[in-house]
Amino acid sequence: MSAGLTRRELLRLACIGSAAAAVAPVETATAAVHSEKPQAAPGAVGMLYDATVCTGCKACMAACNQVNELPADSAGSGGLYHAPLDLNSKTKNIIKLYQAPNAGKWSFVKRQCMHCLDPACVSGCPFEALSKDPEKGVVRWDGSRCIGCRYCEIACPFQIPKFEWDKWNPRIVKCEFCITQRLEKGEQPGCTGACPTGAVIFGKRDALLAEAKRRIAASPGKYFENRVYGEKDAGGTQVFYLAAVPFKDLGLPELGTDSIPYYATKVNAKLYKWLSGPLVLYGILALAVNRNWKHHRHEQEQHEAKGGLPEQL
Ligand code: SF4
Ligand code: SF4
Ligand code: SF4
């Protein structure tokens, strides 16, 4: 990873490290799993989103909610439209608009889980409530294991998992590639099936990567940096992006090519080597827990201010 550690990244690494510390006997094994170049699952599926083709019609958003039986989020539109401002516990998929200041340039962007090849959410969860499907590579959530600690939220470098604050038995909500509703029935996900322009398409990861590179070769200079976001970013993902504007302007962070868990393994190794590891690790863990708790209180207060149910955990 080329970028230096920011405070947020340090907390994420601490979260991942704390999960490893909490299950110390498996730490060695966990560390061994995080390779410098994580490999895709044999039948890895994927999604290719080409922002230059997207018209912002949001058919994919409506389809996502229908297939996943999620209610409309009309809080920001006075009850008129499903118009969430961001991903939330009712929204696994969102189309956002980017406008360059004063330059007249704009682009839509679709956001959902990236289904990372080496997911930080999986490493950050101390109870294995998140896991990567060994065949298709889909990152899934198991409610029977989750205790609602929300470490996955902190660990995810794309800020994807969301917590159901308004439920007595909250879930972690994120895109699971419609695996039970569609993939296991041999059908494609709701969003890709609904897109009328082909801006987002479904397929095998390898085939989608080849298609993305074909488009770049066919239109030199059209795409930002002639690059496919997700090919190597954060160790590689199963969702790819093509865009005419800088990826970071679309909310896609510059994370370097190491996966977060691999990077955390390297940082932990250095901490252990030079600074009496366990003490440092527990210190960082305390920071993460403190920050998590403050954020938790803030979200709870916001929710209660809107008149929601008191939080149950
Ligand atoms: S984008 Fe976040 S939630 Fe999705 S697999 Fe990657 S780390 Fe997990
Ligand atoms: S794959 Fe399914 S859950 Fe994920 S964004 Fe598309 S419709 Fe939503
Ligand atoms: S359905 Fe396709 S064109 Fe419409 S907003 Fe979604 S990705 Fe863009």
Ligand 2 atom at minimum distance from 202 CA: 1
Predicted structure pTM score: 0.81
Between CA 186 and CA 250 the distance in angstroms is: 32
Tokens of 281: 């690790």
Q: Which of 59, 26, 19 is nearest to 150 (CA)?
A: 19
Written as one letter, the residue type at 292 is: N
Q: How far is CA 61 from the centre of its chain?
A: 16
pLDDT value of residue 4: 43
Between CA 302 and CA 312 the distance in angstroms is: 15
Say which residue the tokens 């198991």 belong to: 142
CA of 110 to the centre of ligand 3 (A): 8
Q: Which of 11, 1, 9, 4 is nearest to 36 (CA)?
A: 1
CA of 304 to the centre of ligand 1 (A): 28
Ligand 3 atom at minimum distance from 194 CA: 1
Q: Mind listing the pLDDT tens digit of every residue in the chain (313 residues)? A: 444 445 455 455 555 555 544 444 444 444 446 888 899 999 999 999 999 999 999 999 999 999 999 999 998 888 899 999 999 999 999 999 998 877 678 999 999 999 999 999 999 999 999 999 999 999 999 999 999 999 999 999 999 999 999 999 999 999 999 999 999 999 999 999 999 999 999 999 999 999 999 999 999 999 999 999 999 999 999 999 999 999 999 999 999 999 989 888 877 666 656 655 555 555 555 555 555 555 555 555 665 555 444 333 3
Between CA 87 and CA 276 the distance in angstroms is: 40
List ligand 1's pocket residues with C-beta within 6 A.
Answer: 113-116, 119-121, 139, 156, 158, 160-161, 174
Atom 6 of ligand 2: nearest residue by CA position: 191
Alpha-carbon dihedral angle through residues 168, 172, 178, 180, given to the nearest 10 degrees? -60
**Helices 7-22 and 260-274, interaxial angle, to 10°?**
80
Between CA 124 and CA 103 the distance in angstroms is: 40
Which helix (H) or strand (E) segment holds residue 110: the answer is strand 106-111
* Gyration radius of the chain's alpha carbons: 20
pLDDT value of residue 105: 85
Whether residue 29 contacts residue 280, with contact meaning beta carbons closer than 8 Å, is answered with: no
Query: What letter would DSSP give residue 250?
Result: G
Between CA 131 and CA 123 the distance in angstroms is: 9
